Amino acid sequence: MTYRILITGGAGFIGVHLASQLSKSGYQIQLVDNYTRGVRDSTLERLLDNPKVSLDVINLRNRDEVLSLGEDFQIIFHLAATVGVLHVTRRPYHVLSNNVIMLDNVLSLARRQKNLHRFLFASTSEVYAGTLKYFSLDIPTPENSPLAIMNIGESRTAYMLSKIYGEAMCHQSDLPFTIFRPHNIYGPRMGMSHVIPEQLYKAWKTDSGGRIQVYSPEHTRAFCYIDDAVEMLKRMVERDKCIGKTLNVGTGSPEISIRELVQSCINLTDKKLTMEFLPATPGSPLRRAPDMTLTNELLSFGSQVDLKAGLEKTWNWYRENIFNGDEITAK
């Protein structure tokens, strides 16, 4: 049986990489997007040359448009969401309402499928932020950590709340679901509003002997290269023991400081640059790293691409396609 797979937010960073990998395994892939953040660049164009991959431009907030996608999908990945600091700080209500409405519509679509095998929902590592702020949180963080809600009056809480609510909707949906919580996934084509491409760009555009500003220099993160994350998602589809589970997606170690990360980005440019350390970004957690024990056990897989190799792959792509090229990129 050849599964048909629907990927919402399919023109985005994870969506395109995921579709590319799944299509190589023989799956038929239907992408949907409205290009709010995803872009139709040369990478997506090459992917759509594959007869196993197609794309529809629809508004996921419109239930009729969503339900018109059909009833013969066996797998649905719901990756689409309103994200980004700009949206969260300026339009928190829209983040909350859009994300819940879109998920509700896609869950309604999932219930209409004739032979649904799995519904996979992209949550976020942000769900752990309240516990980290107010209580004791194990780091690396396991999936069974209690979730605490941050101040609901703060705009930055909106995205986290929409994802916690989304997880609850999946649990109450009576569908065969898997929830996954991505942790600092990076790689080619991820857009510029993320720490790694931002720091690579700063290092690229600054003349040797100059200095670059670094916020939250002592905050730490564990980064996961996109190829490893996609392999985890692919294995979640193929293993029934992931049904009903909530799983971290990421790399548990090494956990490195932003200062160390920036120095690694500088090293890739072969420049001598000085870092100017600035205060922590408001709302940024001091530490973030996932406990990958459960995911690795269920999937019989752990990250293969180390940070040095992943950064080099990412640097080479951005330098060729964005910094020295004319490729379009998500903001």
Query: Residue 142's Cα: distance from chain center in Å?
Result: 18
pLDDT of residue 51: 96
**Cis check: omega of the bond before 92, within 30 degrees of 0:** no
Rounded Cα–Cα distance for residues 233 and 182 (Å): 10
First to last CA, the chain: 39
Q: Where are the domains of the chain?
A: 4-188+224-250
Give Cβ neighbours of residue 248 (< 8 Å, ≥ 6 apart). Answer: 125, 141, 142, 143, 180, 181, 183, 290, 291, 292, 294, 295
Please state, in angstroms and rounded to a whole number, the distance separating the CA atoms of residues 323 and 78: 31
- Give the type of residue at 213: Q
- Asked if residues 33 and 15 have their Cβ atoms less than 8 Å apart, the reply is yes
Tokens of 56: 């529809």
Third-level CATH fold of 4-188+224-250 = Rossmann fold (3.40.50)
pLDDT at 35: 92
What does the pLDDT read at residue 284? 86
- pLDDT for 89 equals 84
Q: How far apart are CA 214 and CA 297, in angstroms?
A: 37
Tokens, residue 132: 């980290």
- Close Cβ partners of 11 (under 8 Å, ≥ 6 residues apart): 31, 33, 35, 38, 39, 40, 44, 55
Altogether, the residues listed in the chain come to a count of: 331
Tell me the mean pLDDT per 10 residues along the chain, length 331. Answer: 91 97 96 92 97 97 98 98 84 95 98 98 96 95 96 92 98 98 97 94 97 96 98 97 98 97 97 96 91 98 98 98 94 73
Nearest to 32 by CA among 49, 52, 3, 53: 53
Amino acid 65 reads: E
Q: What is d(CA 252, CA 272) in angstroms, rounded to the nearest whole number?
A: 31
Q: What are phi and psi of 244, to 5 degrees?
A: 80, 5
CA angle 37, 40, 46 (to 5 degrees): 140
Tokens of 66: 């969503």
Tell whether omega for the bond before 140 is within 30 degrees of 0, i.e. cis: yes
Distance CA 167, CA 163 (A): 6
Instruction: DSSP letter for 281, please.
Output: P
Residue 156's pLDDT is 86
Q: How far apart are CA 190 and CA 201, in angstroms?
A: 13
